[in-house]
Amino acid sequence: MTFKSCLCEFEENSTDTNYPEDFSIPDYSYYTSLCDKESNRQFRLWFMSTFYSLICFLGLIGNLLVILTFFYFKRLKTMTDVYLLNLSFADLLFSLTLPFWAANSMAQWVLGLIVCKSMHAIYKVSFYSSMLLLCFISVDRYFAISRAVSAHRHRTQAVFFSKVSSAVIWIMAMIFSIPDMMYTTISINKTCSPYSSSSDPLRIGIQASQIALAFVLPLLVMSFCYSSIIQTLCQARNFERNKAIKVILAVVAVFLVCQVPYNLVLFWSTVIAAQGGTEDCTYDNRLFYATDVTQCLAFLRCCLNPFVYAFIGVKFRRDLLKLLKDFGCMSQERFFRYNFGRRRSSLATDTETTTTFSP
């Protein structure tokens, strides 16, 4: 029998609908198609590279200026000075990891497992330490303003305590980052991640602990401290009061705007992961977009902290101008015009009360 005759016979038999009793047609409805994320990848190509580069540049410049000013003028005289210096180091480390995060989000990871683990470890240590430092800064301001008498009584031990507590903060940040150091690996899709899938139980635990330690705890501490400070300032009769309240509101606003959207999305994605994930591709892609956008907004915090916590203070801003003048970045005439012109308009800005009110 030739091949052509066999083929004809097969075509004739294939039209027969009388299948044997033990023959069953497979149900393809049980097979799910892969969710297409090509639009997400194209979005990341320009969005991540643009915003990560901008945040990295501003974060490096701002935090380096803060660190340089502290060491140049030897400003470590109060608890807040010590905490601000450590906060700048934490944000500087965080900024240095952003180019690696951009590379990981836009293409396959090709830098090896050691660099992958190091990136996540440095990111987590700097992230947790900066959140804890923000807590301690608010506590220090609370005692300096709302409990001024007791704070003045222990002023001699304050700087030593701030140095010890800063070391403890860094140690705690390292401990909190141990899961990322241990489980971070290069996944099947060639990306650097501590999670094997979207419904990985490890991912649920890490994200839940991050929300609790790096958002809920700082939010509660800062809410209590700054609300008490505002209440104390409202009772004080000082013409610097309104300015101090605006500074505190700016600090709280930056924290809420940067952290609340990302942590809400992170919380919702954790809930979905705990339920086994979602089969709705459109919904999954929208959650993917929301995570990317709000994460960039949260990362923006590392370049805003120097402006909110350091540059907004009168004494620190004057030291920064003097630093720029000494390094030849500003003329003497402009320095005196900017510095002493403002000084005549507000004589009280040179007093220690301004640094007490500033965060």
* pLDDT of 222 strictly over 70: yes
* pLDDT of 274 strictly over 90: no
In this structure, what token pair is assigned to residue 206?
A: 């890490």
Work out the angle at residue 63's Cα, subtended by the Cα atoms of residues 207 and 77, and round it to the nearest 5 degrees: 105
Q: Which residue has the higher pLDDT, 318 or 135?
A: 135
Alpha helix ranges (H) inside the chain? 3-14, 38-73, 79-106, 113-145, 148-153, 155-176, 178-183, 201-211, 217-235, 241-274, 281-299, 301-305, 314-326, 332-345, 352-357
DSSP 29: G
Query: For the segment 164-203, what is each residue's pLDDT rounded down to a tens digit?
Result: 999 999 999 999 988 878 888 887 778 888 765 555 677 7
Backbone phi, psi, residue 154, to 5°: -110, 30
The answer to whether residues 108 and 195 touch, using CB atoms and an 8 Å cutoff, is no
Query: What SS3 state is found at 353?
Result: helix
Q: Which residue has the higher pLDDT, 333 or 240?
A: 333
* pLDDT of 238 strictly over 80: no
Q: What is the mean pLDDT of residues 255-273?
A: 91
* pLDDT of 343 strictly over 60: no
In this structure, what token pair is assigned to residue 119?
A: 């990136």
Domains of the chain, first to last: 37-182+196-357 (1.20.1070.10)
Query: For the segment 87-126, what is each residue's pLDDT rounded down to a tens digit?
Result: 999 999 999 999 888 888 777 888 888 888 888 889 899 9
Distance CA 150, CA 157 (A): 12
The answer to whether residues 248 and 229 touch, using CB atoms and an 8 Å cutoff, is yes
